[in-house]
Structure 1
């Protein structure tokens, strides 16, 4: 196939309504020119990361809407938009393995062109890292404090699958999926540059593990282990094994038959 002909076809002319509305001329020029790539993997590297920024932009925009709906207690809209956010988060996770098709050696050629760049500088990531606190405050104020509720009530003593519970679970899923993204991202780093390497800023990649130790909404995770510990006091944390109970039951049955 003639590469130059297909390069021209990929770019399009930018005159059709679809191209004009989506501004494809600008969009498709956000990557390097084909002749400027350091290797054949650089295009996928740029596209995966650029698409991540677009998805994070949509997540952030949607979270702003969610925050407003939380303040108005429009639960159906909150849940619908959280469902959208969760699906986008899964896309972010699912597309990371694309980068695993790149060899460590090929990545080193790309890395030489990154300057001191780091994923920590991502505008999308940095924005999301600033949004969880006001989101939690809105939930706490409008779904808990306003109704004189707390997490122990909506999860346990007054559990009824109420609106507050449903929104809390949506927040928990957002938190969980964000941490999963960070986990798979660091696994990608291990696979690409190794566990003991330094980042382009000279810091150990192991520092990224610290981010996975923290949660956006720790209260939603703490209530689970508190409930489990309390329930454990009721049914006993150390119990006879099922096999032992079965053996005892069989022995009793034999004695009755005798």
Structure 2
């Protein structure tokens, strides 16, 4: 009895309304034909990176929307949309782990198919890197300058856990999650092709490591250092122990 052609069914499944709406015929043909893959892991490699581009498209669309709501100072909408961005960042970081199921040799075989390509050329990644300065300008205009406030005011001097603080925290969480994504990506490269390699598609390791240390909103990070320095003036003061109170002296 002939074996079913499972690969044909995978590449061209039956199309009903759901598949038509999602353009599954086009979506499932965006990868190399299964018969042309260099090894069995190439499909995973392509899909993970294609899905990353889709998540980044949604993230970019959402952040552009946030820019509009920042101008309107609609804090609830901003926090909700930034929560979506945060979830997207966590998804992107988590799915990188799939690529760690590949052996170094299989990874090298796939990299030969990229030509001179590199993840640093990701269109979604490059576009998202352009948005944080716009987000900061919009936040500063609407929530700081427009209200006569500074970052120090909303975090310390006039801290009231208000909407300016809530938006600032939504921005720094995006910053933190994006840098965690970059750090995870760096470890993935370390594990799969090595950071000590003489050539990473012409991209020096320093570029990757420098990106992982970058901060979108340095003012929001610096305020923590400033507060620690200011509040830390009391750290050197010897205070009475709260766990071992001094004994009363005998009369």
TM-score relative to the length of structure 2: 0.93
Rounded Cα–Cα distance in structure 2 between residues aligned with 1:93 and 1:240: 44
Structure 2: gaps of 5 or more residues: none
Question: What does residue 202 of structure 1 align with?
Answer: 202
| Structure number having the greater helix percentage | 1
Question: What does residue 56 of structure 1 align with?
Answer: 56
Alignment deviations for residues 7-44 of structure 1 (CA, whole Å, 9 cap, x no partner): 23223456411111100000000000010000011010
User: Where do 1:149-160 residues align within 5 Å?
Assistant: 149-160=149-160
Structure 1 SS opposite 2:5? helix
Rounded Cα–Cα distance in structure 1 between residues aligned with 2:200 and 2:206: 13
Rounded Cα–Cα distance in structure 2 between residues aligned with 1:78 and 1:131: 15
Mark the CA change 1:43 to 1:140 in structure 2 (over 3 Å): closer, same or farther. Answer: same
Aligned length: 250
User: Where do 1:127-166 residues align within 5 Å?
Assistant: 127-166=127-166
Structure 1: gaps of 5 or more residues: none
Structure 1 ranges of 4+ moved more than 6 A: none
Deviation at 1:240, TM superposition (A): 5.9
Rounded Cα–Cα distance in structure 2 between residues aligned with 1:241 and 1:4: 78
Question: What does residue 72 of structure 1 align with?
Answer: 72
Question: What does residue 98 of structure 2 align with?
Answer: 98
Deviation at 1:199, TM superposition (A): 4.2
Rounded Cα–Cα distance in structure 1 between residues aligned with 2:199 and 2:90: 26
User: Where do 1:1-258 residues align within 5 Å?
Assistant: 5-13=5-13, 15-233=15-233, 235-236=234-235, 238=236, 253=247, 256=249
Instruction: Give the superposed CA RMSD.
Output: 2.2
Would you say the 8 A contact 1:93–1:181 is kept in 2? Answer: yes
Structure 2 SS opposite 1:152? helix
Mark the CA change 1:209 to 1:3 in structure 2 (over 3 Å): closer, same or farther. Answer: farther
Alignment deviations for residues 66-103 of structure 1 (CA, whole Å, 9 cap, x no partner): 01001000111000000000000000010111100101
Rounded Cα–Cα distance in structure 2 between residues aligned with 1:57 and 1:133: 18
Rounded Cα–Cα distance in structure 2 between residues aligned with 1:246 and 1:57: 53
